[in-house]
Homo-oligomer: A and B are copies of this chain.
Amino acid sequence: MNIGDVAQLSGLPAKTIRYYEDISLVKPKREMNGYRVFSDADLHKLIFLARARGLGFTIEDCRRLLALYEDKSRASAEVKSVTGKHLSEIEAKIADLQAMHATLTRLSEECAGDHRPDCPILEELGSDEEPKSTHTVQ
């Protein structure tokens, strides 16, 4: 299969697949004309990667998970550990976003949103005192 075929089948852009080769996540063979040739195993890997990335795992997590996937004597504890760390990060991000959301919603509700210049959003951002909630993490 050529890159267009596996792009279609995995849902990943060809550009991304070339990038994954660059960083050695997949190692397709080459034809005499220089074209990449992807085996079924390569396609399988790409589908694995697409799903893992879709679940928000970093590339390095994906590399680790792929290695575990191919190690038939792995301990499932290792996989669960990677997943657990990722879950914690997701939880932290959700919490941050919810805090931002709460603050912005409060300010937005207080703002008339008309032609007049008075604006509680800008007032809070520019105030001299500590605002009700300031977020340090994005």
Contacts and interface: CB of A to CB of B under 8 A. Distances in A.
Interface of A: 11, 44, 47-48, 50-56, 65, 68-69, 71-77, 79-81, 83-84, 86-87, 90-91, 93-94, 97-98, 100-101, 103-105, 107-108, 111-119, 121-122, 124-126, 131, 134-138
B101 A65 contact: no
Nearest to A68: B122
A5 to B, nearest CB: 17
Nearest to A44: B126
Contacts of A55: 100, 103-104, 125, 135
The dominant DSSP class at the A interface is helix
Number of copies: 2
A75 B111 contact: no
Contact of A113 (B52, B53, B76, B107): B76
18 contacts: A51-B134, A54-B136, A54-B138, A55-B103, A55-B125, A56-B135, A74-B119, A75-B115, A76-B118, A76-B119, A79-B111, A79-B122, A80-B111, A80-B112, A80-B121, A91-B101, A94-B94, A94-B97
